[in-house]
Amino acid sequence: MLARIWYSEKVRSWLTQALLLAAVFGLLSWLVGNTAANLAARGIRVGYDFLWRPSRFPISESVIPYSPTDTFFWAFVVGIANTLFVSILAIVLSTIFGLFVGLARRSRNPLGAGVTGAYITAVRNTPLIVQLLFWYALATTALPPPRSAWSPIGGTFISLRGVFLPRLELDGNVWSFVLLALVIVGTSAAALLLSRRSKIRLSAPHAVLAAIAALAAAALACGIGISVSVPELRGFGFNGGFRLSPEFTALIIGFVVYTSAFIGEIVRGGIEAVSMGQWEAGRALGLSERQTLAKVVIPQALRIIIPPLTTQYLSTVKNTTLALAVGYPELGLIVGTVINQTGQAIESIVIMLAVFLSISLAVSLFMNWYNRKVALVQR
């Protein structure tokens, strides 16, 4: 009986996996115990109690409010917010620009195809960190001083101090309005999803109009007023408006230029993978080339584009750690500062690893879900 069980391939497979899993856990336990013993022998504190101590170091710019009197925990939150903001903005802009690059690369216009081909070849064969340093040097040396700032559009100024834009300012009970807006948007989205599974049909335009009306009513109830703050030159700099620092500007331009070259090739390859018969079918239906591309070819190319595009998005998220080369305070730079202030290197690195792992898994789950939505269904 035992021999029969042992010679079962399924039993041997499960037993082998259990032994490997036990070996991995044993190795991890030994590493953790050995590390803790060595740190204790050297008098190095271990733990996360440092998170609640005041940070006492400045952060040059942040998406959310921060002051040096805040805790190390809040400093990590600020770094995560900056990383997410840069990642999302770079992914959205790179996708839009990369789509145009991919379409121009396969166009019949020799000038457009040649220029985009040279652009893709040059950008893809140059390290990203070199490009970031190039754009940062350009932003801090080639632009004019504030008194001679460029103003391509009224109320917009470009100088060595950064890019200054008009800013909308809200007056009144802003936080209550934000909470109400989140509730209204969430309710509208849930109503649309539920209507698809019930007999009551709710059209998207009607849902959007109802949400806008509810947002307007919430704004009136919270006493929300809107004003525009325009940057003005005073002394040696600009006051008012919204400022994009040279570090942030160089970072976003570098990411968009670099990532869009890869996305352009992904888009071009996906479109060319669709058979020519689909183009001929679109022409036979009386569709123009643009309509055939938008309504016939791209929907079929998405199932080829999405998997490599997911990999590119993940690379963009992880490449945000290179922002420290231009001095933008993303999570990696803040982690380095925290380590210098506290000496809690292992704990800080573990937090950084957990954050990037969570972001990468979230991106992968979303893109895999979208990939299943656009995949061909075999019937």
| Residue whose entry in the numeric block shows the structure tokens 């183009």 | 279
pLDDT for 1 beyond 60: no
Strands (E), 240-344: 242-244
Summarised one tens digit per residue, pLDDT across range 128-173 is: 999 999 999 988 888 888 888 888 877 788 888 888 888 777 777 7
Percent of the chain residues past pLDDT 90, beyond the cut: 29
Whether residue 148 is found in the same domain as residue 131: yes
CA atoms of 244 and 65, how far apart (whole Å): 16
Whether residue 206 is found in the same domain as residue 323: no
pLDDT for 197 beyond 80: no
The pair of three-digit structure tokens given for residue 125, joined into one six-digit string? 């064969």
Summarised one tens digit per residue, pLDDT across range 337-348 is: 998 988 888 888
| pLDDT at position 244 | 82
CA atoms of 90 and 314, how far apart (whole Å): 12
Q: What is the DSSP letter of 173?
A: S
Q: Indicate the SS3 state at residue 150.
A: strand
Whether residue 219 is found in the same domain as residue 175: yes
Whether residue 199 is found in the same domain as residue 339: no
pLDDT for 351 beyond 70: yes
> In the structure, what pLDDT confidence band is assigned to residue 200 with cuts at 50, 70 and 90?
low
Residues 6+ apart with CB under 8 A from 349: 335, 339
CA distances from 18 to 2, 6, 27, 218, 342 (A): 18, 15, 14, 57, 40
CA distances from 337 to 79, 124, 340 (A): 11, 32, 5
Q: Which of 72-76, 199-203, 238-242 has the highest mean pLDDT?
A: 72-76
pLDDT for 6 beyond 60: no
Whether residue 204 is found in the same domain as residue 82: no
| Greater model confidence, 250 or 150 | 250
Residue ranges making up the domain that contains 225:
168-229
Q: Which value, to the nearest 10 degrees, does the dihedral of the CA atoms of residues 296, 299, 300, 306 take?
A: 160
Q: Tell me what the pLDDT averaged over the chain comes to.
A: 84
Summarised one tens digit per residue, pLDDT across range 301-331 is: 888 889 899 999 999 999 999 998 888 999 9
Q: Which value, to the nearest 10 degrees, does the dihedral of the CA atoms of residues 198, 200, 203, 207 take?
A: -90
Whether residue 189 is found in the same domain as residue 99: no
Whether residue 110 is found in the same domain as residue 205: no
| Count of helices and strands (H, E) across the chain | 13, 7
Last residue of a domain, one of 206, 229, 252: 229
| pLDDT at position 353 | 92
Task: Answer yes or no: is 15 within a domain.
Answer: no
Summarised one tens digit per residue, pLDDT across range 65-119 is: 888 899 999 999 999 999 999 999 999 999 999 999 998 888 888 888 889 989 9
Q: What share of the chain is helix, strand, coil (3-state, %, to 5)?
A: 70, 10, 25
The number of folded domains in the chain is 2
Q: 261 with 98: CB under 8 angstroms?
A: yes
The H or E element spanning position 158 is: strand 157-159
Task: Answer yes or no: is 333 within a domain.
Answer: yes
Whether residue 157 is found in the same domain as residue 208: no
Task: Answer yes or no: is 105 within a domain.
Answer: yes
Q: What would the mean pLDDT of 283-295 be, rounded to a whole number?
A: 80
Q: What is the CA radius of gyration of the chain?
A: 27
Q: What is the DSSP letter of 69?
A: T
- Report the CATH number at residue 145: 1.10.3720.10
Whether residue 255 is found in the same domain as residue 326: yes
Q: 338 with 348: CB under 8 angstroms?
A: yes
| pLDDT at position 378 | 53
Whether residue 205 is found in the same domain as residue 331: no
